[in-house]
Structure 1
């Protein structure tokens, strides 16, 4: 039997993060569960039942990089061998018109969904690189909970969708930097569809619940309390979800957690097959992303003459083969 791996997961007090913790503990893996006010908010019965392979660690994803580096060093010593899987899961969302989003709101959602995971990854990379280049460690992974909204943004969710799109682009590029030898660090992003969690809950006060990424259960639970000139459009969006909320959120957090861990376990396994850098989870996500890809292909073909017509005179045109290889997702 192989020794347990150590997972550090952000945003674990509820939702997808808690589902990940529960599943990993059921598989006898080591888990470092993190979040704001984690000791007081994490379910005590889980702590009592898993004293040997569960550690709680205070981590606010909005902290500066120096603080996150200190946390990374502390986390590294909680289990023998350091961390095998860094799982950037914490996230937030809300419904907001582009015009009516304050600078504070924009900064907050981008910090939680993008800048925080980037900073935490930066903090852990020196430790992960040292592990993979100086030992025979395998299956060292950096994972992210992203969203199918990165492909298919809805109206009034521009800031959430764009922050997740940026996160997916970041992790795709990151994978091309750290996966080749000598580093051999795998990167995978899970672009989840609708799933009942508390993703839409606010972060304004520490006493309130920390939102978890990977779902939208709380996102449209109620309309914005403030007045908006976009009431008609917002009402249509909210109405679409509230007519049959479960139809628009078919995802099961426990099943998604099991799927995520299953994919991570395949990384580096002999004969396990190639794991994609970006993986869509959820039937709704699969169908909406498929539609987006097909529509994009249609637009590319219909407007090819215009696109190609902007090249300099005399050039052969098209992308070079080495460039296409560098940007390939396969």
Structure 2
């Protein structure tokens, strides 16, 4: 395959860093990588920078910046490698998480969660689309979460932001397909990374690890939160079976399939735990739909046949 240039957000740890390592290790393809983040120069591993002077560039980028700033960063990224080939794959990987009850979450907490997990990736994608439309082929990828399907209690804000992101991914894929831009979202299960650390501590895009379990909160929901945290604490690794290096390798392999024109789902579940929990959710949703069909269909106007038109069903299809 011809070399590609990837711009990846959230690269100082977890899946983002694993993506950088895997891409640069593919000696046969000679991929170029633009690793981004806040304070990236001081936080990115210097041994990797030294090992790949020709194929790696660091770009200071805060995904919560406003659209004009991100447009400027997109233009800067486009010029980082010689030849003016720009970026072939935009990988929106950055994310953050924490536990908080729906009642007790502050506006600042909620805003930050959605800025990092949803609005930032949306704005960054918006900044890159005019540039990507002028290429013959490009990919926009996202790291989402299986909790978009299966929200846990006390993680409602995280799950909501990821559910919104996954919905956005579906719509985006349909909008940009006429421009030869492919879109794929990876809905990951538990993986040993650093997600769950407050952004002030990690300072940048997080992934998913023990910080999620170590938070101590004064809360009227202590009993329910304690049960959930206790479930994880009994055997934390059992709830995080994913290997970040294998996740990254799989993501790259899927993107390469897209590049070769193979058919790939727009939303792809990664992880055995994710697969089982999503399968349960789909089956339970089917049961609810069938069991309550009479109630659902009973709300139509008299004289109307009911149901969705074929063109509508085609427009919302995930296949």
TM-score band w.r.t. shorter chain: over 0.9
TM-score by length of 2: 0.96
1:263 aligns with 2:254: yes
| Equivalent residue in structure 2 for 1:217, among 204, 209, 212 | 209
| Equivalent residue in structure 1 for 2:172, among 174, 177, 202 | 174
SS at match of 2:90: strand
Judge conservation of contact 2:97–2:212 (CA < 8 Å) in 1.
Answer: no
SS at match of 1:34: strand
Partner of 2:12: 13
Which segments of 5 or more consecutive residues in structure 2 lack a partner in the other structure?
none
Map of 1:1-330 to 2, 5 A cutoff? 2-27=1-26, 28-79=30-81, 80=83, 81-131=85-135, 137-138=136-137, 140-180=138-178, 183-204=179-200, 208-213=202-207, 216-224=208-216, 226-270=217-261, 272=262, 274-330=263-319
TM-score by length of 1: 0.93
SS at match of 2:58: strand
SS at match of 1:105: helix
Judge conservation of contact 1:98–1:156 (CA < 8 Å) in 2.
Answer: yes
Q: Output the CA distance in 2 between the equivalents of 1:87 and 1:306.
A: 42
Which segments of 5 or more consecutive residues in structure 1 lack a partner in the other structure?
132-136
Q: Output the CA distance in 2 between the equivalents of 1:249 and 1:309.
A: 43
Quote the RMSD (CA, aligned, Å). Answer: 1.1
Q: Output the CA distance in 2 between the equivalents of 1:305 and 1:117.
A: 40
Residues 35 and 261 from structure 1, CA distance in 2 versus in 1: closer, same or farther, beyond 3 angstroms? same
Q: Output the CA distance in 1 between the equivalents of 2:215 and 2:194.
A: 15
SS at match of 1:221: helix
Superposed structure 1 runs of 4+ greater than 2 Å apart? 208-213, 218-221
Shift of 1:219: 4.4
Size of the aligned set, in residue pairs, is 314
